[in-house]
Amino acid sequence: MTDKLPIKSATMLFPTILLLVGGIAYGSMFSANKFIVEAGLPIAAYAFWQALFSSGALLVGAALKRDLPPVNFGALKLYALVAVTGMVGPLLVFSSVADRVPAGILTLIVALIPTTTYALSLMLGVDRFRWLNLAGVALGFGGILLIVLPNGSLSSPEAAIWVVFALLVPLLAAINNVYGERLAPPKAGSLGLASGMMAVGAVILFIVMMARDGFVLPTDAGNQGLLVVLWATAAQSITYACFFEIVRRAGGAFFALLNYVVVAAGLIWASVLFGDRLSFWVWIAVAVLSVSLALTNMGTAAAMRERRRIT
């Protein structure tokens, strides 16, 4: 962990609650995306408006807490890094491969994020090797396999090239998780940081929207388009506020486990909203993911206790 991690974070209860809240919120985005496709709102416009609205909503929250986002070179580097590697980059990659790679394989690629993040943390010396953390990450990936393997396979040999391209997503996410932890100002509030990141992301996405589709209002897709944008705004706001708080308290490698929660939560949201049946394997996977989270909690808590003794 970095020196920015406060000693008071020796308990994993609050980071775990935030991880579940953020994962459940972001898991709803899969269902929101289905509704936005039906409404006909272009993906770049959809992303731009939710980033812009999220920035405004988070800024109001930060102002009420008297914790406005810092505006300096270090903070701007953080905002740009998280916006590009955590939001804009994965969006552009997934939108490029969505009709070329089966959804099950894309789910598997998302599930590689915790493994990639942990590996990068070890390579950069941000974290130390611990069997509990490794077991938690590996077990979580195994849980995702239980969801994907019964259904997923490549539709054609050409899809393999696009799968390799899609592997940019776990790499970008790992950079986001690890360097987001290292660059975060130690005294800045999570709402302010999330607002600043969303503002930078909105600027980038505005350029992408104008280049691809021209200026598009969410109301151009009718009331459904606007309502889904507001839904996505709430999900993004919750997730990124949780991101900065989890990274501050428990580190980027722990936050990466959110992707396991997102996959399971996405399936449950789809079951509630669309009546999709959840197979026996999904419930087994949820149980496995719970054990994965417990093991990683134990490993991260041990790391915090070690750091507390050292300091």
Residues 237-265: tens digit of each pLDDT: 999 999 999 988 888 888 888 888 888 88
Judge whether 110 lies within some domain: yes
| pLDDT score for 157 | 61
Judge whether 2 lies within some domain: no
Judge whether 311 lies within some domain: no
Asked if 117 contacts 174 with a C-beta cutoff of 8 angstroms, the reply is: yes
Structural domain for 33, as ranges: 7-306
Q: By C-alpha distance, which of 51, 49, 69, 50 is closest to 199? A: 51
Is residue 10 classed as helix, strand or coil in its secondary structure?
helix
Reported confidence tier of residue 4, pLDDT bands at 50, 70, 90? very low
CA–CA separation, 52 and 246 (whole Å): 23
Query: pLDDT tens, 155-180?
Result: 566 667 777 788 888 899 889 988 88
| pLDDT score for 50 | 94
Judge whether 67 lies within some domain: yes
Judge whether 194 lies within some domain: yes
Query: pLDDT tens, 25-43?
Result: 998 988 888 888 889 999 9
Judge whether 106 lies within some domain: yes
Provide the 8-state DSSP code for 102. Answer: -
Question: Can you say whether the dihedral through the CA atoms of 228, 231, 235, 238 is positive or negative?
Answer: positive
Helix axes 131-148, 280-310, angle to 10 degrees: 160
pTM of the model: 0.81
Tokens for 76, please give them: 């701007």
Asked if 244 contacts 194 with a C-beta cutoff of 8 angstroms, the reply is: yes
* Structural domains of the chain, count: 1
Reported confidence tier of residue 3, pLDDT bands at 50, 70, 90? very low
More confident residue, 218 or 139: 218
Q: By C-alpha distance, which of 8, 17, 26 is closest to 246? A: 17
Tokens for 149, please give them: 């393997």
Is residue 41 classed as helix, strand or coil in its secondary structure?
coil
47-51, 87-91, 92-96: which is most confident? 47-51
CA–CA separation, 233 and 14 (whole Å): 23
Reported confidence tier of residue 9, pLDDT bands at 50, 70, 90? very low
Tokens for 159, please give them: 């899809």
CA–CA separation, 32 and 23 (whole Å): 14
Query: pLDDT tens, 263-290?
Result: 888 888 888 888 877 777 777 877 877 7
Judge whether 285 lies within some domain: yes
Query: pLDDT tens, 93-129?
Result: 887 876 677 666 677 778 778 888 888 888 887 777 7
Judge whether 1 lies within some domain: no
